Amino acid sequence: MTDKSIHANPNKHRTPRHRAREFALQGIYQWLLNASDARAVVANIRNAHGFEKADGEHFTALVMGTIKQVESLREVIAPCLDRPLQDISPVEHAVLLIAVYELREHPEVPYRVVINEAVELTKSFGGSDGHKYVNGVLDKLAPRLRAVEVAGPQAADSEEE
């Protein structure tokens, strides 16, 4: 038995939400590089091979919401960076925008899931250590964007008293 038979193909276990984030990353990356119209980006990505396995609604919400709120998202991200945003790779830039949008606008998704997904996307599509940078930035932002959730159940209990 070889090592290959022991390890399952990780691509077979991607959830529809994870696939939505992958396609959203492609869309935001495309938008960052080409300044394409948001609707054109969504339409183009929806025609991509394998899109039918993605959560299309979440994909559209991520792309359209991120593009619509890009300036305010960048304002949230900037204080946590050690260099100007324009010096961040386009992949890391796109991942950070999507993750901050999801942290702000999708409280139903646990913050740890948002961070983990962002790190995994950066590992798959970014530079060799980009995931560490993304993780560090999001670890700084999560307490600001999801204070009660990050603090845990003790904080929620004390607020109710």
Domain boundaries along the sequence of the chain: 14-160
Residue 86's pLDDT is 87
Residue 153's pLDDT is 66
**Predicted confidence (pLDDT) at residue 111 exceeds the cutoff of 50:** yes
Comparing CA positions, the residue from 41, 55, 43 lying closest to residue 108 is 55
The CATH code belonging to domain 14-160 is: 1.10.940.10
Query: pTM for the full model?
Result: 0.85
Q: Which residue has the higher pLDDT, 7 or 81?
A: 81
Q: Write the pLDDT tens digit of every residue in 133-156.
A: 999 999 999 999 998 888 876 544
Share of the chain above pLDDT 70, in %: 86
Q: 127 pLDDT band (50/70/90 cuts)?
A: confident
Q: 122 pLDDT band (50/70/90 cuts)?
A: very high
Q: What's the mean pLDDT in 8-23?
A: 75
The terminus-to-terminus CA distance of the chain in angstroms comes to 59
Nearest-angstrom CA–CA distance, 154 and 8: 39
Q: What's the mean pLDDT in 70-93?
A: 94
**Predicted confidence (pLDDT) at residue 128 exceeds the cutoff of 90:** no
Mean pLDDT (the chain) is 86
Comparing CA positions, the residue from 55, 54, 74, 80 lying closest to residue 138 is 80
